[in-house]
Amino acid sequence: MRPIITRTERVAVNIADGFARMTGGERFLPCVMQYGPGAEAAHAAVSQAFGDRSPILLIPGEHARSAQVHAPTVGAVEAYRSITTWSATVNEPDQGPGIFRRALQAVLGVRRGPVLVAVANDVLYAPAEDDRPWEMTHPGPRRSQADPADVGETSSILTAASSPVIVAGQGVLYGDATADLVALAEALEIPVATTLNGKSAFPEDHPLSLGAAARTRPATVDRFLERADVILGVGTSFSRSLYITPMPSGARLGQIVSDPRDLATGYDVGFACVGDVKLVLRQLLARVQGHSAAARGTDGDVPRRVASIRREFEESWSPRLTSDASPLSPYRVVWELMHTVDRRHTVVTHDAGHPRDQMVPFYESIVPHGYLGWGKSTQLGTGLGLAMGARLARPEWLSVNVMGDAAFGMVGMDLETAVRCHIPILTVVLNNGLMGGYTEYMPDAVSRYDAHKLGGDYRGVAAALGTYAERVERPDELRAALQRCIACVESGRPALLEAITHEEPAMAIP
């Protein structure tokens, strides 16, 4: 098997995370690391994957059996117990096959998330009873429909609602259910928002798309949610988070989830279907045949209202999206990127902080997995590994990571991993020389000590690590620079574009 050796364990886990997201969890990259320091260093990235329910298989080493009982050694299973869905330690050679079979069942099962198998160092080299070649077999995940009574109730509530809204989560992406979701939305003329993790689960150029209901979001999301009487979550747990739009108190909430443990985790839910998202959507489609939006009195009104609000929103932000300022507006960078790449064959991911908040409302994703949204935990630097994992999963697609200068400082050395391991991705660094958004939280430290300021020549660092690198700060140079970087990536070499930007606040949070 081809090894991909990263500079840091954190980026290795992020790569496995991005690969799992792009393949819908049907394939995965095992992530192996040293016992002790290696396992300890990976903890942050596994926390991120656990928060976003990414199915990854972790195989850390473990201290030798004789050392496991002596403090101060840290055992991987105990250290990771709260952020894995299943874990075990192989302390005897003959335990290996059975434990790995169970691990495989867990990582490909309904309950998504990190799975860990630690292997004691002295067991790695111990002789097994049976030294014949061993092949792991797995029947694959089993899909089930929902209870027909629950489907009937959900159908009745949807067709009777006056202003229903669907909120689609990443379960739609893992279930390969975008086409079925579109069919249901069109059949009943129901507008669709997505969660941050679910962004790209519903095409955002569709007349019924409201965009991502994230921390920053298009006005369409708020305008339709505030008047909704029924909200159906499809493939989402409705978990409360700073980075997800709060659900309105006056609406009746329902869910479609594959795992019953995801029911009512953040809000009280009045109705629900438990089953495979794709199969349940098809059950609902069969039930609503003969019903139409006209029965609710909409008769084409929903797409018109969506278009009107969207047009008003885009016009209000147009001065920033098309700004001629130099240094650049970060919104202009997002706008140019969206209009330069082939969005049907591109996956884009953001990093934490302002890059996320500035991208999510304005980058329009139009195909499933065309955008990797993440963020229940928001560790700077995560996007770089996700982009590499996405490229490994879809080598025929362009993979783009947009990060800030602070995020580059966390993981930038792993650009060399992309070069050495032949993983051509495009990294766009939004460099304003600041930790954006921190002034309001630490005003004294900023005014007295400039504690929010950063420095660095990121183009120079990237070039020294072997990537093609450019710097741009004039808007009339931006698109051509992006095109040169994309051409370089398509030739097989990673590229970095350092965009010199001025500080702009993210969208005000209602």
Q: Is the residue at 317 inside a domain?
A: no
Map residue 89 onto helix, strand or coil.
strand
CATH number (domain holding residue 167): 3.40.50.1220
Q: Is the residue at 392 inside a domain?
A: yes
Residues 113 and 231 in one domain: no
CATH number (domain holding residue 23): 3.40.50.970
Residues 336 and 399 in one domain: yes
Domain total of the chain: 3
- Residues 453, 460: Cα–Cα separation, whole Å: 19
Hey, which bits of 295-408 come out as E strands?
346-350, 371-372, 398-404
**Dihedral in degrees, nearest 10, Cα atoms 114, 115, 120, 123:** -140
Residues 400 and 494 in one domain: yes
Are the C-beta atoms of residues 224 and 211 closer than 8 Å to each other? no
The order of strands in the sheet holding 495-500 is: 371-372, 346-350, 398-404, 426-431, 495-500, 468-472
Beta strands 57-62 and 31-33, pairing class = parallel
To the question of pTM greater than 0.85 for the whole model, the response is yes
Phi-psi region of 318 (alpha: psi -120 to 50; beta: other; left: phi over 0): alpha
Q: Considering just the CA atoms, what is the radius of gyration of the chain in Å?
A: 24
Are the C-beta atoms of residues 84 and 51 closer than 8 Å to each other? no
Amino acid at 249: S
Are the C-beta atoms of residues 358 and 216 closer than 8 Å to each other? yes
Closest by CA to 358, choosing from 404, 310, 312, is: 404
257 is in which domain, residue-wise? Answer: 148-308
Residues 368 and 336 in one domain: yes
Residues 154 and 274 in one domain: yes
Beta strands 468-472 and 495-500, pairing class = parallel
- Record the tokens describing residue 118, joined without a space: 């630690």
Residues 199 and 299 in one domain: yes
Q: Is the residue at 174 inside a domain?
A: yes
Q: Is the residue at 510 inside a domain?
A: no
Q: Give the pLDDT confidence score for residue 43 in this predicted structure.
A: 94
Q: Give the pLDDT confidence score for residue 171 in this predicted structure.
A: 95
- Domain edge (last residue) among 56, 91, 124: 124
Map residue 259 onto helix, strand or coil.
coil
Cα–Cα–Cα angle for 244, 255, 265, nearest 5°?
Answer: 55
- Residues 398, 22: Cα–Cα separation, whole Å: 13
Amino acid at 375: G
- Residues 68, 479: Cα–Cα separation, whole Å: 56
Q: Give the pLDDT confidence score for residue 502 in this predicted structure.
A: 93
- Residues 392, 422: Cα–Cα separation, whole Å: 10
Residues 279 and 349 in one domain: no
- Residues 496, 471: Cα–Cα separation, whole Å: 8
Q: Is the residue at 505 inside a domain?
A: no
Map residue 288 onto helix, strand or coil.
coil
Q: Give the pLDDT confidence score for residue 1 in this predicted structure.
A: 81
Q: Is the residue at 436 inside a domain?
A: yes
- Residue 331 DSSP symbol: H
Residues 294 and 345 in one domain: no
Q: Give the pLDDT confidence score for residue 377 in this predicted structure.
A: 82
Residue-by-residue DSSP string for 375-397: -SS--TTHHHHHHHHHHHH-TTS
Q: Is the residue at 453 inside a domain?
A: yes
Q: Is the residue at 40 inside a domain?
A: yes
Cβ-proximal residues to 286 (8 Å cutoff; 6+ apart), any chain? none
Phi-psi region of 492 (alpha: psi -120 to 50; beta: other; left: phi over 0): left
CA atoms within 13 A on the CB side of 380: 16
Amino acid at 66: S
Residues 168 and 120 in one domain: no
Closest by CA to 200, choosing from 163, 223, 169, 165, is: 169
Are the C-beta atoms of residues 57 and 28 closer than 8 Å to each other? yes
CA atoms within 13 A on the CB side of 265: 15
Going residue by residue through the chain (510 aa), what tens digit of pLDDT does each one get?
889 999 999 999 999 999 999 998 788 889 999 998 899 999 999 999 999 999 999 999 998 888 887 666 788 999 999 999 999 999 998 888 889 889 988 998 888 899 999 999 999 888 767 655 556 566 666 789 999 999 999 999 999 999 999 999 999 999 999 999 999 999 999 999 999 999 999 999 999 999 999 999 999 999 999 999 999 999 999 988 877 888 998 899 999 999 998 999 889 999 999 999 999 999 999 999 877 666 666 667 999 999 999 999 999 999 999 999 999 999 999 999 999 999 999 999 999 988 999 999 999 999 999 999 998 888 899 999 999 999 999 999 999 999 999 999 999 999 999 999 999 999 999 999 888 777 778 889 988 998 888 888 999 999 999 999 999 999 999 999 999 999 999 999 999 999 999 988 766 655
Are the C-beta atoms of residues 243 and 357 closer than 8 Å to each other? no
Q: Give the pLDDT confidence score for residue 338 in this predicted structure.
A: 97
**Other beta carbons less than 10 A from residue 242's beta carbon:** 11
Cα–Cα–Cα angle for 483, 489, 495, nearest 5°?
Answer: 85
Q: Give the pLDDT confidence score for residue 479 in this predicted structure.
A: 97
Q: Give the pLDDT confidence score for residue 294 in this predicted structure.
A: 63
Measured over all CA atoms, what is the biggest interatomic distance in the chain, rounded to whole angstroms? 73
Q: How many helices and strands in the chain, by DSSP H and E? A: 20, 16
Cβ-proximal residues to 2 (8 Å cutoff; 6+ apart), any chain? none
Closest by CA to 458, choosing from 489, 412, 393, is: 412
H/E run at residue 475: helix 475-490
Residues 326 and 304 in one domain: no
3-state percent helix, strand, coil for the chain, nearest multiple of 5: 40, 15, 45
Residues 270 and 335 in one domain: no
- Domain edge (last residue) among 274, 308, 342: 308
Closest by CA to 163, choosing from 188, 196, 198, is: 188
Nearest 5°: phi and psi at 400? -125, 130
Residues 303 and 377 in one domain: no
Q: Give the pLDDT confidence score for residue 507 in this predicted structure.
A: 66
